[in-house]
Amino acid sequence: MSTTEFFTRLVIALFAGLIIGFERQWHHKETGLKTNMLVATGAAAFVLLSIKVAATAPNIDVTRITAQVVMGVGFLGAGVIFREGANVHGLNSAATIWCSAAIGCIAASGYFAEALICTFLVTIVNTVLEPIEKWMRNRK
């Protein structure tokens, strides 16, 4: 993989995180622009590292690092969730972080259209379903 391709994959992951993070920041959520950008970019960087190392040593499984990214982001997401009395907050933010990491992994693997489709879907879920969720929560 060339440096240009490495850079392109990283920038696409960063851009996807920017789109998701912008929506979260716009709605004043716990995790915003920088968090989602860094999660997507960090996940992509780990996957790209795995791809680069596997190119020099063919007996290395590139999916091992991706699996560890999933676990690490799960830990990060758990830090966003908090309990306040009978209410639990941050589950959607944690799920969004998890999706940002997945999109970073997809972009790093070279699936650019798929990464943008996933970015679009995450943004739609967080934007379109928010008012419906609030309505359902507040109905008597």
Domain boundary assignment for the chain:
3-138
Spell out where the chain has E strands. 82-84, 87-89
pLDDT of residue 127: 92
Phi, psi (rounded to 5 degrees) for 57: -135, 95
**36: CB partners within 8 A, 6+ apart:** 17, 18, 20, 21, 24, 96, 97, 100
Question: In the chain, which stretches have pLDDT less than 50?
Answer: none
> How many residues does this entry show for the chain?
140
Backbone φ, ψ for residue 82 (5° rounding): -140, 155
pLDDT of residue 111: 96
pTM, rounded to two decimals: 0.87
SS3 call for 130: helix
